[in-house]
Amino acid sequence: MYREPVESLEPLHSLNTDRAAIRPLRVGMIGIGTVGSGTFRVLARNRADIAARAGRSIELVLVAARNLVRAATIVGDSVPLTDDPFHVATHPDVDVVVEVAGGTGPARDWVLAAIAHGKHVVTANKALLAVHGTEIFAAAREKGVAVAYEGAVAVSIPIIKALREGLAANRIEWVAGIINGTTNFILSKMRDEGLDFASALAQAQSLGYAEADPSFDIEGIDAAHKLTLLAANAFGMPLRFVDAQVEGITALQGLDVACAEQLGYRIKLLGVARRQADGVELRVQPALVPADHLMAHVNGSMNAVMVKSDAAGLTMYYGAGAGSEQTASAVIADLVDVARLDGVQAAQHVPHLGVHAHATNALAVLPRAAVHTSHYLRVPVAAVSQIQAVTACLAEQKVPVRQVALAADRPGVAPQVLVLTGPVLQGTLDLAVHALQSRAEVAGAVVTLRVEALEG
């Protein structure tokens, strides 16, 4: 993540002596919940391995928590505790602040206070960075400190490092990912067990995969926060969360999951950032993926991200999308990178969003009507014989039709015409759906979903 200082060619014994003299990286942590407790455990358990990789030890010296009694049961008497996050953010004995409390308001203030006091920041808070990242990164550049956030995007998957370092030679064409474990669990249950959305959500909540209020997950907002960070790193563009097109899975019907299977597809909630000639598509939506595609086999709470770039071609990254120690793995990897910064000038740091500020590409986010994809349509009709009326209407509206089928008969369900289109502008498809909806042969609401081939 960061360029290491050039080492002198001194004898080995001299280097070992110098390394032993390097003082530890002193960490203050705000929050000791799921991620914070995992970070504490992994730091303690793998202390020697982490120090060997970082070139110095990493020590937790102060923790802020709302519930000090609970916090003490986690850290014991090994780490001082406080109920004041600003005490951590401004403490002179803290080198780097780990913010894992979540939220966007108070967390913004804590992070900015830490930066103002010359401290590096590590966070797993995607909402904070998607909403306030522009301000936070600008403040960090001014103070010459790092803000690291691998754990904010795909938990155990080092996708930020891959985009900023592993693929640094490439012009990236698109990034697409299953980047929310809760919704992927729900969709997997809907397909594997035939559950409706409400039942699958209830199961996710009972198993701890979904919060009591799951809105951020099921409405696609969490995935949009993460996609915002992915797009900025992929294309060197500013953070554009407010411009993202976001559609969740709350309206998804089990019938469409079954119909997608019939056509040879599976439905996944995808975050897609795709470079076009006149801007970038930035969208989260449930979409059909070919059933034989690797992405279609990412099930349960797992995450996966695919990247298409000009030199490396198609690459895929897969791993756990949730978990205490899984997120801690990314948080501590960021701490190791920060530990390696000793003696490195700020100008040599890897940029927060992949490119240096003066080279940022102010790419426009394309409006919904300009998105160009294939689509799935489910059209309820009064009688099977009216399938030709559906295809004729689409032809009149200049929508290319690739495949037409009738849904398998289901008791009590009207005949359903299933259509897979060729690539078409969303604006054109919207007009066609409006025209279909006005036809007397159409017996209910027309359902549309995007189809993503995710081809190399």
Which residues are marked as active site? Answer: 226
Which residue type does 258 have? A
- Crossing angle, helix 221-235 and helix 126-143, to 10 degrees? 40
Q: What is the rounded distance in angstroms from the CA atom of residue 214 to the CA atom of residue 361? A: 34
Contact 28, 61 (CB under 8 A): yes
Other beta carbons less than 10 A from residue 133's beta carbon: 24
Encoded tokens for 257: 């999951």
Q: What is the rounded distance in angstroms from the CA atom of residue 30 to the CA atom of residue 94? A: 12
Residue corresponding to tokens 């919940």: 33
Residue 301 gets the label, from left (phi > 0), alpha (psi -120 to 50) or beta, of alpha
The residue among 359, 275, 271 whose CA lies nearest residue 309 is: 275
Give CA angle at 90 (85, 96), nearest 5°.
90
Q: Which residues of 149-187 are buried (b: 16+ CB within 10 A; e: fewer)?
A: bbbbbbbbbbbbbbbbeebeebebbbbbbbbbbbbbbbb
Q: What is the rounded distance in angstroms from the CA atom of residue 89 to the CA atom of residue 409? A: 62
The residue among 391, 388, 418, 413 whose CA lies nearest residue 265 is: 418
- 10 Å CB burial of residue 48 (0-12, 13-18, 19+) is exposed
